[in-house]
Chain A
Amino acid sequence: MIDFELSEEQQMIRDSVGAFARDEIRPAARPADESGAIPAPLVAKAWQFGFVSGAIPEKFGGGGDARSAVTGAIIAEELGFGDLSIAIHVLAPRLFAFPIVEMGTDDQRAKYLKRFAGADFAAATAAVMEPRFDYDLSALQVSAKRDGGGFVLNGGKCYVPLAAESEWMLVYAATDAAKGFAGVDGFIVPRGAAGVTISEREKNMGLKALATYEVTLKDCRVGADARVGGDKGIDFSRLMSQSRVALGALGVGVMNAAFEYARDYAKERKAFGVPIATKQAIAFILADMAIEIDAARLLVWEAAFKLDKGGDGLKESYLAKNYVAQSALKVTDNGVQVLGGHGYIREHPVEMWLRNARGFSAIDGIATV
């Protein structure tokens, strides 16, 4: 039965994460964008919310919370409102831990999950994207070939968050290229594994505070036990749907940041003796931003809801994420436009949000719910 009300617990989570994003992430966003570094104390504080440890089963010391993609979307939106780079950074360990929670073997759970239940941030990541213009999640070119008891990985990855500091990396590779999503497996690759080269940090238009890297795999050998889920493998399509929900929700947060800032500015800034917000030319831009934010959020929530109900959410998450990629660009661009010349100056954050929002058409798989 149709219902748009958050549960009490979800409201509490939204309020507390929202306050953290507004009061602590936001002030750190511009300095981090300029310097490329996120303050460690902020990352440590974010860790205390249990964004990662909460979903680790109790027997490994975690919170044992039931995962909900809807709740995950609510959290991601709030963090994205604070700052996209910082949000992706603090959520990055999920990229490694959550697939193991959901699809790993008992041995893999026992071996890896404890690390994410502790008091300190545990860097870990996943390598999904590939450095080609038409790289395709359903046709990955990084390959995993059986070799004796294990696998040999070959190919190049890019946009791997925190690759240099991560203890473990989950590398997605095609074991059977003909099978599309179903032919993809995830392999646990430890730091310093032979055949793995991590590049210099990537330099991107936006997401400048997020450390991302190209990763090259050349005859990188891993054991059979490195394959997530063992012989059963993983449901890669589902993992990517979860990722699209997370990225979509982060995008809604970025949109909302731009909207609020532009709205407040337009009420303050005067032209011809009146606030510019009293002119339809500006007011209509703001109204359109507000509509697109709500539309995008509802599409993301619906995709999340489908996942929570056990559906694959492929179509919903794909449409929602693509919708966000377009509307986040439009909304943040409008944010710059409402501020006019001031929007172009780095003293205001709107230009940063425009650069960050452009990223949604390029990124996949670097956040999850």
Chain B
Amino acid sequence: MIDFELEPQVLNQLKMYHMVSEQMMRPISRECDEHEHQKPTQFYDSMWAASAAASNIQIGHDKSKSTEAPKASAPRRATVLTVLSTEELCWGDAGLYLSTPNPGLGGAAVMAAGTPEQKEHFLKRFKEGKPKWGAMAITEPSFGSDSSAVATTATRDGDNWVLDGNKIFVTAGQMSAEKSEGFVVVWATVDKSAGRAGIKPFVVEHNTPGMTVTRVENKLGIRASDTAAITFDNCRIPLDSILGSAEVRKEGGFKDVMATFDATRPIVAAMALGVGRAALDFVRDFLKQENVPIRYGISQRRLTAVERDFMEMEAQLQAARLLTWRAAWMLDTGKRNSLEASMAKAKAGLAVTLITQKAVELLGPLGYSRKILVEKWMRDAKINDIFEGTQQINMIIIARRILNYSSKELN
């Protein structure tokens, strides 16, 4: 049955996340933006402790091995809950959200493609000791959206794989590769002649010789999150570092990357929602304080320009939110969601880019000032229309799906 209501216990959980946003993120938001490469270690420690305390991290547990019978009546809803909490945390600060110590996209890849042993081995660290990060390295200097163009090589040499190549735009790459006991999942080709089928994910442990962080980028926004360039030069890793099979088949490998996107795009969409809502909430409070009314239900012809703009922002944000919830819900209920995940990502990325730009405009000189965070949210928002598949890549995916075209037919 169609239902848009969140039950009390979920709302309570979200209140907790909201408190984290308000009390731990917002107070350091501006400082982390102004001092790009300075690490808010106290924030890391608090978040690490909080996630350990909540101990609701399922990662690392192989549920299939559990002796308990699965609860048939309780539907899976992990993605919906993740989407909700992500929005709440990115309402606090999207950059800090991305810099939070956790398995990140690297963890998602291990979960998606790893064996039960690999999951245990690589992910249990996130439940113990000091803060740690996981990262995923796909993009290279010579390609962005065309992830089939991976040029980094993985060569079998005795009991090792040897990685050679350059990766860029690795979110939390520095924290994962050098500044914690984390890891980086690297996509490399085992057979260049095999094209996409030869591309495989490898887990590289922190501080592995041959892996070097060569640069940490200076960015438009989400400055609290490090974006690293990493070089692999004769980087030797154990044979069992490969996620999934090393065998080159026509079907395989690359599909795993794509399957990861089905799960991560709704989450990126939710990040956008959080930033957009932050801006919208600010503008709403501001207008209220200035005694500018927002009158729902009156004639469209009697609305002021400010009312029209504000309502448009609200409707766009809610439209993006519902598309995001749907994509997450589909994943939870075992439905193929590539189309809907791309719709959510495309809509949310663009809508929130425009919402935050409009928020700066509506606030006039105040909006442009670094005294308040709205201009920062406009800068933060933009990344959501770019990473995890640009607006344009998502449009291509949507177009292929609705037209029933292959990537050869529509490119």
Contact = CB atoms under 8 A, between A and B. Distances in A.
A263 B403 contact: yes
B296 A318 contact: yes
B147 to A, nearest CB: 19
B403 A134 contact: no
Contact of A298 (B6, B326, B392): B326
A318 B6 contact: no
B402 interface: yes
Interface size range on B against A: 35 or more
Interface stretch (A32-40, A41-49, A281-289): A281-289
B323 A298 contact: yes
Contacts, number: 140
Contacts of A2: 3-6, 77, 80, 325, 329
Interface stretch (A3-11, A117-125, A164-172): A3-11
A246 interface: no
B410 A299 contact: no
A240 B297 CA distance: 9
Contact of A286 (B323, B325, B346, B403): B403
A136 interface: yes
Contacts of B329: 2-4
B399 interface: yes
Contacts of A5: 1-2, 333
Contact of B3 (A137, A299, A305, A319): A305
A174 to B, nearest CB: 14
Interface stretch (B122-130, B215-223, B314-322, B379-387): B314-322
B347 interface: yes
Contacts of B398: 287, 290-291
Interface in A246-297: 263, 266-267, 277-278, 280, 283-284, 286-288, 290-291, 294-296
Contacts of B330: 4
Interface size range on A against B: 35 or more
Contacts of A137: 297-299
Contacts of B251: none
Counting chain B CB atoms within 10 Å of each CB, the highest count among A10, A294, A295 belongs to A295
A323 interface: yes
B186 interface: no
Given A2-B80, A137-B297, A291 B399 contact: no
Helix, strand, loop or mixed for chain A's interface? Answer: helix
Interface in B262-300: 296-300
A278 B405 CA distance: 8
A301 B2 contact: yes
Contacts of B399: 277, 280, 283-284, 286-287
A309 B347 CA distance: 28
A138 B297 contact: yes
Given A278-B409, A302-B4, A323-B319, A291 B396 contact: no
A213 interface: no
B338 to A, nearest CB: 13
B138 to A, nearest CB: 23
Contacts of A298: 319, 322-323, 326
A318 B395 CA distance: 29
Interface string B318-354: 1110110110011001000000100100110000000
A283 B396 contact: yes
Counting chain A CB atoms within 10 Å of each CB, the highest count among B318, B330, B347 belongs to B318
A66 interface: no
Contacts of B323: 291, 294-295, 298
B395 A323 contact: no
Contacts of A280: 396, 399, 410
Contacts of A266: 403
B3 A263 contact: no
A237 B333 CA distance: 37
A337 interface: no
A322 interface: yes
- Shortest Cβ-Cβ A-B pairs, 3 listed: A298-B322, A283-B399, A295-B319
10 contacts: A135-B299, A136-B298, A287-B402, A291-B323, A295-B319, A298-B323, A299-B319, A302-B322, A314-B296, A318-B296
